[in-house]
Amino acid sequence: MRTLLLGSDPRTTLIRAAALIASAVIVFGYILLPMRLQGISMLPTYNDGAFNFANRLAYLRRPPARGDVVAIRMAGPSVMYVKRIVGLPRERVEIAMGVVMINGEPLVEPAVVNRSPWNLPAVTLGDEEYFVIGDNRAMEIQNHDFGRASRDRIIGKMLF
């Protein structure tokens, strides 16, 4: 029974198990943040209850880009939102009849299937601000959390 559990060389098996556990703690504790999505604001891209990972290293060498789906820290260490970046620093963002306008030009958004006729006055983003919004625009505007997110609140890019 001992050989079945620990192999022919128990010491090597225990070293390998310890290395595997240490690697998992590093990867899933510091690099890939596991997340279970709740709510319908990102439909159809992500379903309610979907499981995904946020890559914390994605923005070490480049800034977040338009179209990236990101995890955003809202309040405390474990409250996160998942949203899509539509506006970049120093851009003017507005929503007119459900269409996102960037510096007066309509934004092409293939991930958005249904739209409600939302209207939002123009806002100009600061140097370290991004405008984030969910893909489910069929929701009423008052039921949707969206808007400015400072760069330091963006935790990472979603993997899938």
pLDDT by residue (tens digit) across 41-74? 999 999 999 999 999 999 999 999 999 999 999 7
pLDDT at 139: 86
pLDDT at 103: 98
pLDDT at 16: 85
Question: Who's near 25: CB < 8 A, 6+ residues apart?
Answer: none
Question: Who's near 143: CB < 8 A, 6+ residues apart?
Answer: none
Kindly state the average pLDDT of the residues 142-155. Answer: 92
Instruction: Answer positive or negative: Cα dihedral of 132, 135, 139, 140.
Output: positive
pLDDT at 92: 98
Across the chain, what does the average pLDDT equal? 91
pLDDT at 5: 61
